[in-house]
Copies of this chain bind each other. A is one copy, B any other.
Amino acid sequence: MADVRLGIIGLGAEGGMYANFIAEGKVKNMVIGAICDNDPAKKQVAEEKYPGVPFYDNYIDMLESGDVDAVVTTVPHYLHPEMGIESLKRNIHALVEKPAGVYTKQVQELNDFAASKPELKFAIFFNQRTNPLYKKVKELIDNGEIGSIRSTNWIITTWWRPQGYYNQSEWRATWGGEGGGVLVNQAPHQIDLLQWICGMPKKVYAKVNYGYQRNIVVEDDVTAVFDYGNGATGVFVTKTHDVMGTDRLEIHGDKGKIVVDDSKKVTIKRLKQSEKEMSDSMDMSDVMKLFMGGGAGDIFTEEVLDFGNVWGEQHIAVLEDFASAIVEGTPLLAPGSDGINGVRLANAMHLSSWLGKEIEVPFDEDLFLEELNKRIAEEGKYPVRK
């Protein structure tokens, strides 16, 4: 089969990066079919950088042009579901940017529509799922190498953004234009990875700071507690105001522990006996021997894996995975329908902070939208959402 002709909707920072990767021949099985942007000034940019590639200022025209087999939607988050649906409706494969949308109701519509078109590929741009480190961590968990999960803990505060970042565009960091702050823009990668690797929580409590260290109405600081429903708990901390950001994920199981530092180093401790067996067989004199005598190393083995950190490779891998699914029928690493989980989890954190209490997941989606619309209306810059 011929190469996939990708239509890029939105020639901003992300769209431009993907276009460059494809134009440079870095993405197997894919060429640029067309480029679309509603900013007319982008036409010249596109013609200079990607000569001969058709340019559209309206994505529907592009979808109907016959120039593209598939699209990627690098546009504001609210538009992802609508554009995904319009593409699939015209038998165009769709790769939506993360997050899949701003609220689960709209994402569910997209998922439902995509389900009615099983012959088309529908994917989401979770480039961290192609990161060999997180693929390995998921494999370790899925294989039961640290047993049943008792707790998760991710401090991910490496998403530093100065005030100038928020001032770049009118829609940024608004309720009506973006739908939130760090939870919908920066942290969706880790929110997806966490649920992909460790499953979805059943209850969520979140303490969320809105405009804490930045002049914005949305959140720049989040601290959440998860309840996985079986006693296991989780902590998720993310911020955009920590310029010395921390990235530390710990997953504690009944047979071991995994600690990921800086998304580069994985330390795996594997207990020789399960924790329950140790608890059932040991007394305090054994404890003293273990912890006072320095003999704690004897109860587990430790393996350290170091992964490189090559910028851009994961984006290329997502594009190749999507192309390969279309051309060769391989399974998608990040099916589009998975996108709703991260949106649900982010929504749950917002809703918990708005209501000031722990909430069950799934929550009342109408209530979420009502609360979001209250904030959009107060802000007064964009129409409320339906």
Residues of A within 8 A of B (CB): 150-151, 153, 155, 157-158, 160-165, 168, 205, 207, 209, 212-214, 221, 223, 225, 227, 231, 233, 235, 237, 239, 241-244, 246, 248, 250, 252, 256-257, 259, 269, 271, 275-276, 278-284, 286-287, 291-292, 296, 299-300, 311, 356-358
Contact = CB atoms under 8 A, between A and B. Distances in A.
A353 to B, nearest CB: 11
15 contacts: A150-B241, A151-B237, A160-B287, A161-B287, A162-B279, A162-B286, A162-B287, A163-B279, A205-B205, A213-B279, A214-B279, A223-B225, A235-B237, A241-B279, A246-B259
For the complex of A and B, 8 pairs with smallest distance between CB atoms? A164-B283, A162-B279, A162-B282, A244-B257, A212-B231, A163-B279, A244-B269, A223-B233
A276 B164 contact: no
A290 to B, nearest CB: 8
Contact of A207 (B164, B227, B282): B227
A145 B213 CA distance: 19
A235 B223 contact: yes
A357 B355 CA distance: 11
Contact of A233 (B153, B163, B221): B221
A231 B248 CA distance: 22
Nearest to A274: B243
B276 A213 contact: yes
A168 B223 contact: no
A161 B291 CA distance: 11
Contacts of A281: 162
Contacts of A163: 279-280
A221 B209 CA distance: 26
Contact of A283 (B165, B231, B252, B271): B165
